[in-house]
Structure 1
Amino acid sequence: MKVVQEQKQECQKYESTPKFPIFNQMIVISNIVYEGLAVDAVRYLSPEHMSGWWLTTDLYDDNVESLMTVHYHHVAFIRPELIKYFALPYGYRFNITGKEQDVWFDENAIK
């Protein structure tokens, strides 16, 4: 329940309607996301089995073949500090660097 409330609060900050991912949906991640590095994230319109979230680190080299598709729940358990952002709707981005966070809507992400 706490997770859902945090997700709703994060969406309220940006005057957006929550679009909750389903626990068995997939997320695209780059190497080292699980290791706790800073994360750049964007949520694209996606097929139903995908959450739409793509998470990369500064070490991502723009090689899409190096990306992995993993279940949402794996990311939720390994990087719980990111969960509160996952209900932000399609088109949102966030960047988390230590205690600093930046969240914004990117119209180009939904085109």
Structure 2
Amino acid sequence: MTKENGQLGVCQRFGAGHMPPEENEKVGIALGSLGKLPLNALRINPENGASGWYIYGGESSDGPDFYQPLHIAHLVDRCPKIVPYLALPPGWRVLLAPEYEDVWFDSVLIDKLSDGD
């Protein structure tokens, strides 16, 4: 199964649209937190070369240095567990832990975008 087919399958399984990012787009990733559980990811609207994905382990932080930019192409090595979920469109969240998966649409992510927050 190719990465693209796996991502399409995830989108179909959750009844979501299919919006894969380009490999040269970036994610915001908290590299220092990736050893913590659960693994969290959320997607807002892509813009300016950013895919809209933010990925972190454990609890999130508003700290200015919490997230670092990373190209999508490097996620296969740095955070392979999230790769199958990357084609979920803006508004989707993912939470992964050992033997646990939660994937849901969060309208708050879209509402914030609409309100300009």
TM-score by length of 2: 0.83
Given that 1:34 and 1:75 are in contact with CA atoms closer than 8 Å, whether structure 2 keeps it comes out as no
Q: Residue 40 of structure 1 aligns with which residue?
A: 40
> Unaligned stretches of 5+ in structure 1?
none
- Write out the 4+ residue segments of structure 1 that deviate beyond 6 Å after TM superposition: none
TM-score by length of 1: 0.87
Question: How many residues are treated as equivalent by the alignment?
Answer: 111
Distance in structure 2 (CA, Å) of the matches to 1:65 and 1:36 = 17
Superposition map of 1:79-90 within 5 A: 79-90=79-90
Query: What are the superposed Cα offsets for residues 1-27 of structure 1, whole Å, 9 maximum, x if unpaired?
Result: 611111011000111221011001000
Change (3 A) 1:104 1:50: same
Secondary structure of the structure 2 residue equivalent to 1:24: coil
Given that 1:31 and 1:60 are in contact with CA atoms closer than 8 Å, whether structure 2 keeps it comes out as no
Which shifted more, 72-81 or 49-58?
A: 72-81
Distance in structure 1 (CA, Å) of the matches to 2:27 and 2:85 = 13
> Unaligned stretches of 5+ in structure 2?
112-117
| RMSD between superposed Cα atoms in Å | 1.8
